[in-house]
Structure 1
Amino acid sequence: MFPQNDEKVPRVRFANFEDEWEQYKLGEIASIIGGGTPSTSISEYWGGDIDWYSPAEIGKKIYMSESRKKITELGLKKSSAKVLPVGTVLFTSRAGIGNTAILEKEGSTNQGFQSIVPHINKLDSYFIFSNTHELKRYGEITGAGSTFVEVSGKQMEQMLILLPKFEEQQKIGLFFKQLDDTITLQQSKLDKLKSIKQGLLQKIFI
């Protein structure tokens, strides 16, 4: 559905959308925000109510609403961590580059992220999340040219991306969200069936 190479329109398209997609730098349609870690030796920085994510938490869930660790307001002030708004696409920028998730609740991250905060009416969160494969490919290629395998915020801002108008982005984002919701539901059913099967195997076979 996304245009490739020099194409300016996708091969499959929803009705009533005819305009060519336009090329932007990611930094023109979103803010790229890094993270930070408060000193772990100062207890007053930890155990607060501000969600604080690490890359290990990203990749299995689409939406994130609670982190494993939390920091305090003081910890936030004493580090380079920043509170990110709902709808931010978390993007891991180090080893394991390119894992993504969408913030369902305000939160912060450590320095292993270059998170994408869409500009209002410019970039749809689920649209860019659905393009994770391209974000990941760009991050891996760009990061590989550095001393450490890491992609910076400045590098992410320079990523070129083809975009339709915001209304079409929303339509595409909703379409993929519905597909992802269906996949999640079916996976849950499959997991339950596997659990039932395992229980029966243990009871039937001696």
Structure 2
Amino acid sequence: MLNAVKPQFSGNGTNIALGELCEILNGYAFKSKRYVDEGIRVIRIANVQKGYLEDSHPCFYPATEKGSIAQFLLYENDLLLSLTGNVGRVALLDNKFLPAALNQRVACLRIKDESLLNKRYLFHCLNSMCFENRCIESANGIAQKNLSTVWLRGYAIPVPQMDKQLEIARRFDLIQAQISRAKAQIVKLDDLVKSRFIEMFGDCRLARQDQDWKRIGNIGEVLGGATPKTQVEEYWGGGFPWLTPAEIGDSIYVNATSRTLTSEGVRSCSLSKLPAGTVLLSSRAPIGKVAIAGTDMYCNQGFKNIVCGDSVLPRYLYSLLMFNSDYLNSLGRGATFLELSKRIVEDIKIPVPAVELQLQFECFAQKVDKLRFMLLGNPLPMFGHRSFCCSTNSGNGGVILEAKDY
């Protein structure tokens, strides 16, 4: 069981701007029309998730162009950060992704003096909700956030003595390893659910688009969202949960969000309420993240959510979409970034078995869901990200770091 460990550290530390500690590199605007089947992997915004890289749909640039893009080539353990969309996410580049090059709107941070700053310490410092939230607050743009590298260079982090950095990094590496082991066991549980799904319902590949299946638009209502003006304080901090794709993680159910709206904020964008039980589907950056609303909520423009009708149960539809992320991604359209439109989602055909059979599956899945949460050592219905906040203690100039669940 994963315990809620909260290590604390304090010691003499100084706040130093990232621009003084690191070279911060910008990426190149690679032309998608020049992508090939293999070559130099292009690391894009969608690849940078919270704490790790995901590249189930890789893009490659011709290896023959290596010389012309030399300044954008990446190295093992480069620290990458998203600058657009879900800003403030960081990941370290694993050797398995090489050779690779940096795409536009992804930053690369390379430590200037590793005798002053440990890379694992820096990673854990930036892989925290407090840093991500500050990135979101500092980013420009309403429809899509854009983080400035000028702001990033000026962002200061506490830098204690190297022995303290190593101890902090070691502690959080242990927590991360514990989480990774738990997630590996969760994958096995998810495979069990998928096996049961196929056993009960047969081939679940939506790419078949069987003519006897039903359009999503005919068995439910597809609803999107929007972002109220962030500079209007009266719109924010109320009692209405407001979701972004970045907040969908390992949890099946979403019961809380990092930001909330007031009634004025809801009215400003004529937002449609997503009732509890709505199947949440991210429609861009990235496409195909799925969850179920555990309570009434609203969302930003990065979703095409499905309010199920009487013939479809949320847990059934959630699993069906989860098992078809590749197909959902193949439906994305757009020049700047791929996106699912409301019409595309409505036109997807899905198998709709008898409700009694869906209920049997839901009963089985819920038992497995309970095992997932027991494994993670957190109460139902949600497990969040574990990361730490770092700050300088105003009393003695020391560094305080805490592991927290979000």
TM-score range for the pair, normalised by the shorter chain length: 0.7 to 0.9
Which residue of structure 1 lines up, in the alignment, with residue 5 of structure 2? none
For residue 75 of structure 1, the aligned residue among 258, 265, 283 is 265
Residue 112 of structure 1 pairs with residue 311 of structure 2: no
Residue 139 of structure 1 pairs with residue 338 of structure 2: no
CA RMSD of aligned residues (A): 1.9
Residue 146 of structure 1 aligns with an amino acid whose one-letter code is G
Which residue of structure 1 lines up, in the alignment, with residue 110 of structure 2? none
Instruction: For residue 95 of structure 1, report the CA deviation from its aligned partner.
Output: 1.2
Instruction: For residue 3 of structure 1, report the CA deviation from its aligned partner.
Output: 2.6
Contact 2:284 2:340 in 1 (8 A): yes
Separation (CA, whole Å) in 2 of partners of 1:5 and 1:173: 16
For residue 33 of structure 1, the aligned residue among 223, 233, 241 is 223
Separation (CA, whole Å) in 1 of partners of 2:257 and 2:373: 21
Residue 134 to residue 155, structure 1, CA distance change in 2 (3 Å): farther
Contact 1:25 1:159 in 2 (8 A): yes
- Flag the structure with larger Rg: 2
Separation (CA, whole Å) in 1 of partners of 2:367 and 2:274: 25
Instruction: For residue 4 of structure 1, report the CA deviation from its aligned partner.
Output: 2.0
Structure 2 regions of 5+ residues with no counterpart? 1-197, 206-211, 379-406
For residue 283 of structure 2, the aligned residue among 88, 93, 96 is 93
Contact 1:30 1:117 in 2 (8 A): yes
Residue 124 of structure 1 aligns with an amino acid whose one-letter code is L
Separation (CA, whole Å) in 1 of partners of 2:345 and 2:326: 12
109-118 or 178-187: bigger deviation: 178-187
Residue 202 of structure 2 aligns with an amino acid whose one-letter code is P
Which residue of structure 2 lines up, in the alignment, with residue 43 of structure 1? 233
Instruction: For residue 146 of structure 1, report the CA deviation from its aligned partner.
Output: 2.8
Separation (CA, whole Å) in 2 of partners of 1:135 and 1:186: 26
Provide, for residues 71-92 of structure 1, a one-character-per-residue CA deviation record: whole Å limited to 9, x for no partner.
1111111114321101001111
Instruction: For residue 113 of structure 1, report the CA deviation from its aligned partner.
Output: 0.5
Residue 135 to residue 154, structure 1, CA distance change in 2 (3 Å): farther
1:99 is paired with a residue of what secondary structure?
strand
Separation (CA, whole Å) in 1 of partners of 2:301 and 2:315: 23
Alignment of 1:60-71 (within 5 A): 60-71=250-261
Contact 1:3 1:162 in 2 (8 A): no
Instruction: For residue 122 of structure 1, report the CA deviation from its aligned partner.
Output: 1.2
TM-score, L = length of structure 2:
0.40
Structure 1 regions of 5+ residues with no counterpart? 7-21, 190-206
Separation (CA, whole Å) in 2 of partners of 1:172 and 1:132: 15
Residue 268 of structure 2 aligns with an amino acid whose one-letter code is K
- Asked which structure has the greater RCO (Cα within 8 Å, sep 6+), the reply is 1
Residue 259 of structure 2 aligns with an amino acid whose one-letter code is K
Separation (CA, whole Å) in 2 of partners of 1:169 and 1:146: 35
Residue 243 of structure 2 aligns with an amino acid whose one-letter code is Y
Alignment of 1:1-206 (within 5 A): 1=198, 2-4=201-203, 23-119=213-309, 121-143=310-332, 145-147=333-335, 148-188=337-377
Provide, for residues 129-160 of structure 1, a one-character-per-residue CA deviation record: whole Å limited to 9, x for no partner.
111334523320000x4323111111001111
Residue 50 to residue 88, structure 1, CA distance change in 2 (3 Å): same
1:175 is paired with a residue of what secondary structure?
helix
Instruction: For residue 186 of structure 1, report the CA deviation from its aligned partner.
Output: 2.6
Contact 2:289 2:322 in 1 (8 A): no
Provide, for residues 98-131 of structure 1, a one-character-per-residue CA deviation record: whole Å limited to 9, x for no partner.
1111111100000001111101x21101111111
Residue 34 of structure 1 aligns with an amino acid whose one-letter code is G
Residue 142 of structure 1 aligns with an amino acid whose one-letter code is L
Residue 28 of structure 1 aligns with an amino acid whose one-letter code is N
The percent of aligned pairs where both chains have the same amino acid is 33
